[in-house]
Amino acid sequence: MRKNTEDILMASEILRKASSLLVLTGAGVSAESNIPTFRGDNGLWNKYNPEDLVSVDGFRRNPALVWEWHCSMRKLAMSSNPNAGHFAIAQLEREFFCDGNFLLITQNIDDLHRRAGSENIAEIHGNIFYERCTKCAFRRRSEVIYDDVPRCPQCGSILRPDVVFFGEPLPEMEIAKSFSFAQKTDCILVVGTSGVVYPAAQIPYIVIEHGGKVIEVNKEETPLTKYADVHISGESGTILPEIVKTIR
């Protein structure tokens, strides 16, 4: 039997026995929707400097450049569609782990999980389709591709993308919800993340500390791999539907 098949069966067995499921995704789950990842071959951070584009100082120095970058991400996300991996995660929530026994934590800002039908989502790095005021509490959903820095309709200050810049704290409610679920769940499925950006990367270790099982789906090995109960190597758009098919 091919190695992957054995691993998929093992993952399905773990999921079948689990009473709740926490899913943690990174850019890899959107790679097959043609949204580039940040690290590894062709990673965005090989071509652009995140310090200029997704940092507080970068925004202070040049808000127009940061908005240009985020509007290009908005355009990309609008022209992309959820892939089979996103739909499989939504199916896990709908068919196997409903009623509060499921939480999806995503580091992605592309909104593809919501478009695929996932409901219980903690967007811990924000969402590219929200923007907020740098001064007052104004916040709105928007799909506008700006050619200049937008201003707040309430106080006239400049608006910023409602995403987490490097060095900023993550949304408190989302993080609190994520960490408390991680302490209670008996299983976490980690998909398409290099596991190097904290505090998101810490979440699987909290599950392990509390006796939960770890299933990792990634094209490569990561720092988490040696702690995972099963690591399935390959593309999430192929592997996740396979896992869902074999849980029944």
Interface residues with Zn ion (CB under 5 A) are 133, 135-136, 138, 152, 154-155, 157
Q: 211: which DSSP letter? A: T
The yes or no reply on residue 221 touching ligand APR (CB under 6 A) is no
| Active-site residue, 210 included | no
Site for ligand APR in 139-178 (CB under 6 A): none
Cα separations (Å) of 221 from 101, 117, 135, 192, 193? Answer: 28, 29, 42, 10, 10
Nearer to ligand APR, 119 or 220 (CB): 220
Applying CB under 6 A, the site for ligand APR has a residue count of 23
Q: How far is the CB of 173 from ligand APR (least distance, A)?
A: 18
Identify the three-state secondary structure at position 201.
Answer: helix
- What H or E segment, with its residue span, contains residue 105? strand 102-106
**Phi and psi at residue 88, in whole multiples of 5°?**
-65, -40
Which residue is catalytic, options 70, 125, 210, 231?
A: 125
In the complex, the smallest distance separating the C-beta of residue 173 from Zn ion, rounded to whole angstroms, is: 21
Cα separation, 158 vs 132, in Å, equals 9
Helix/strand/coil for 244: helix
Choosing from 14, 21, 31, 228, the residue that interacts with ligand APR (CB under 6 A) is: 31
CB atoms < 10 A from the CB of 137, how many?
A: 9
Residues labelled catalytic = 125
Interface residues with ligand APR (CB under 6 A) are 26-28, 31-32, 37-40, 43, 107, 125, 192-194, 197, 217-220, 222, 235-236
